[in-house]
Structure 1
Amino acid sequence: MSEHTVTVTWRRTSTSFDYETYNRDHSWSFDAGVQVRASAAPAFHGDLDCVDPEEAYVAALSGCHMLTFLAVASRKRLIIDAYEDHATGFMEKNVHGKLAVARVVLRPRVRFSASVAPSQDELAKLHEQAHHNCIIANSVSATITIEPA
C-alpha cells in the first residue's frame, strides 16, 4: 500500500573503534527533507542531546495513537482543541532474556470543545478504537497501556 524510507548515516569520528569509545552520533534523513540528529541512548554511550532509537520508538507509538485518535474523533464529529501525551517506554528483558522496550505507557490528555466532551466511558472507547487501528501499535509486540488523564 505504501513505502516509507529513511536514510541513516553514520561515520566514524573517533580515533578508535573500541566499544567504549567509538562515536554513536548519526543522522536520520526523511523523505520530506527533515534531518534528525540521533545517537544511542546515554546508557549505551550515546549523546544526551540527540534522539535515540528507543525515544523515537515511543514517539512513533504516541504519535500514531494520537493521529488515529484524532481521526476516530473527527469521524464521530467530536471536536478536539488540544492533545498532549507524556509517553514512557520501559526497557526490560523480554521472554528471550534480551533487552527490549517491552512496555509503553501512553498518557494522553485530550481537550475537547466544551460543548461536545464525551463521558469517561466514551473516551476510553475512543482510545481503544484508536489503539486497535494504530498502524505502529499493530506492528509491534510491546505491551502498550493507555492511561487517559
Structure 2
Amino acid sequence: MFSSNNSQKYKSCTKKGGNCFECHKDSRFDNKRFLIIVNVLGSAGPLRFLVNEEDLVSGVIESALKLYAKEGRLPALGSDNSKFLLYCANFGSDALSPWDEVGSCGARNFVLCKKPEQQPNMTEARSHIISRKGSGNWKAWLNKSLTFKISSH
C-alpha cells in the first residue's frame, strides 16, 4: 500500500497535471482525440490516423504526408506541407487555414491536394490577355475549318 507520505502527497495534489493518480486519470480526457480520414488526390485510397482536436491543420498535413511516404504510396508527394491544402470533404469549397485547429470545423473526412502552381512572372492581367489571345486564335481556326467544309459541298 501507500506510505503515509505518499498518501499525504496524493491527498494534497489538486492541480491539473500534478503527479497523483487522480490528476493523471482526469487528464486523459482533456485531449480529445479522434480518427480522421484524409483522401489524397491521385492516390488509391484514404489515409486514416488519430489527431488531437487542438492540432493545427499544418500539423495534420505534415502527419498525412509522413504517413503517405511511410506507406510507400504513389505518386510521391514530397514533405513540404506548405505546398498542400486541406479541405473538409463535407463542407464548402474553401481550404482550411494552416493555423486553424483541425477540430474547429467539426469534420472527420478531409481531402488533401497540392496547391495550384502559378508561373512566377505571370500577372493576372497578363494571363487574361494571353487566354483571350489564345481563344481568338481558336475561334479563327474554327471559322476557317467551317468555311472550308461548307464551300467544298
| Bin for the TM-score computed over the shorter chain | under 0.3
Greater fraction of residues in strand: 1
TM-score, length-normalised on structure 2? 0.22
TM-score, length-normalised on structure 1? 0.22
Greater fraction of residues in helix: 2
Larger Rg: 2
